[in-house]
Amino acid sequence: MAERADDRLVRLLGLVAYLDDAGPVEVEELAQRFGVSPRQVREDVDALWVSGTPGYMPDDLIDFDAFSLEDGVVALTQARGMTRPLRLGTREAVALVAALRAMHASPAVQADRGRAAVVASALDKLTAATGEAASAVDVRLAGDDDPQVMATVSGALTRGRRLHLRYVNAADVVSERDVDPARLVTQDGSTYLVGWCLRAGGRRTFRVDRILAARALDVPVEDHGLPGPGSSDDLGADVWGQVASRSAPAATLVLASAARWVAEEVPAESVRDLPDGSIEVRLRVTNPAWLRRLLLANGPDVVAVSPPEVARDAAEAARRALDAYALDDAAVEPAPGADPGNGSGGGLA
């Protein structure tokens, strides 16, 4: 799987800090320490070699000893201030304290002890450095999640155990299913459980406040290739595993109340309840074919679509499908002696 850009950035920064403290280090030793191949270490050095401060002239760039690298040793000669302590203004520090407190209180962080410990450590250090200004920050996250359900789900994630869920979807249909939990994600004010649903045979996302009951089973979770706690999908992906780009075209759907599930199971940019009970959903469209299928599958509940070209595209696809059915019907010849108008003998079940 392709490496995430932010994962590589963390490693690049770590390389500079480590080399600045440790001095020259053999390529193989660096590769082992950072969990990558020697070839990747050399590629990271090549990337750092052309990184630096604005101006980007030779004296502005991070530098290494080229002769040492030829001998398999990485020697940092110029860090360009990358290892200097970060100096924050009061407003910057307070903003970070607020963000860290919100992050630490989120179920997604609390579900993973390692991640919670890292956030708590960073928060403690930043709070101490900020001083009295940090005491003015009060962050409280309100949610409708059942504490008992959340505790069960978090415990199952920590211990790697399968869950039995009683779940109600947006259409008020209750179901029971076994799920191998992968991670908890907080997005747009709601907490979601991402996992492998054995009943559906695939990845599913469950809103935690819609889990009526949860029970941890004495069955270890299986490896389904889903990212676990502390991980995430490809850069820019949301909890549904779909990439939502702010530069992608926007579409607005007005849907009848029966299609309210769309607002919860599709990555929407905004959702608005309308006076007549319908809902307005605004989303970004990175794949027009996906939106077309969504509209066709829920045609009876689609009240309005904008921009007009999106509606025309779906309508044209529907007409093509109807034309194809008409051609199929015309190609069927009645059996000898059968009455074409009575529906029998035409070769159709």
Neighbours of 281 (CB within 10 A): 20
Q: Which of 6, 49, 36 is nearest to 230 (CA)?
A: 6
Q: Cβ contacts of residue 107 below 8 Å, gap of 6+?
A: 143, 145, 150, 154, 184, 186, 191, 208
Q: 343 — alpha (psi -120 to 50), left (phi > 0) or beta?
A: left
pLDDT (average), residues 92-110: 79
| Residues 294-308 pLDDT 10s | 888 888 889 999 888
Question: How buried is 2 (Cβ within 10 angstroms: 0-12 exposed, 13-18 middle, 19+ buried)?
Answer: exposed
- Give CB contacts under 8 A, 24+ apart, made by 307-310: 307/251, 310/251, 310/285
Find tokens 């959903």 and name the residue: 281
Whether the pLDDT of residue 231 is over 60: the answer is no
- Distances from the Cα of 158 to the Cαs of 162, 218, 220, 325, in angstroms? 11, 13, 11, 52
Cα gap 94→88, rounded to integer Å: 9
Whether the pLDDT of residue 342 is over 90: the answer is no
Q: Which of 37, 32, 33 is nearest to 18 (CA)?
A: 33
Whether the pLDDT of residue 235 is over 60: the answer is no
Whether the pLDDT of residue 325 is over 50: the answer is yes
pLDDT (average), residues 156-179: 87
Beta-strand ranges (E) seen in 169-309 are 174-187, 190-197, 202-207, 211-220, 250-255, 270-273, 279-284, 302-306
Helix, strand, coil shares, percent, the chain, to 5: 40, 25, 35
Q: Which of 118, 244, 264 is nearest to 190 (CA)?
A: 264
pLDDT of the residue at 154: 84
Q: Model confidence at 73, in pLDDT bands (50, 70, 90)?
A: very high
pLDDT of the residue at 287: 74
Q: Which of 183, 117, 194 is nearest to 154 (CA)?
A: 183
| Average pLDDT of the chain, as a whole number | 78
Q: Which of 251, 242, 245, 247 is nearest to 314 (CA)?
A: 251
Neighbours of 305 (CB within 10 A): 20
| Strand 190-197 relative to strand 174-187, pairing | antiparallel
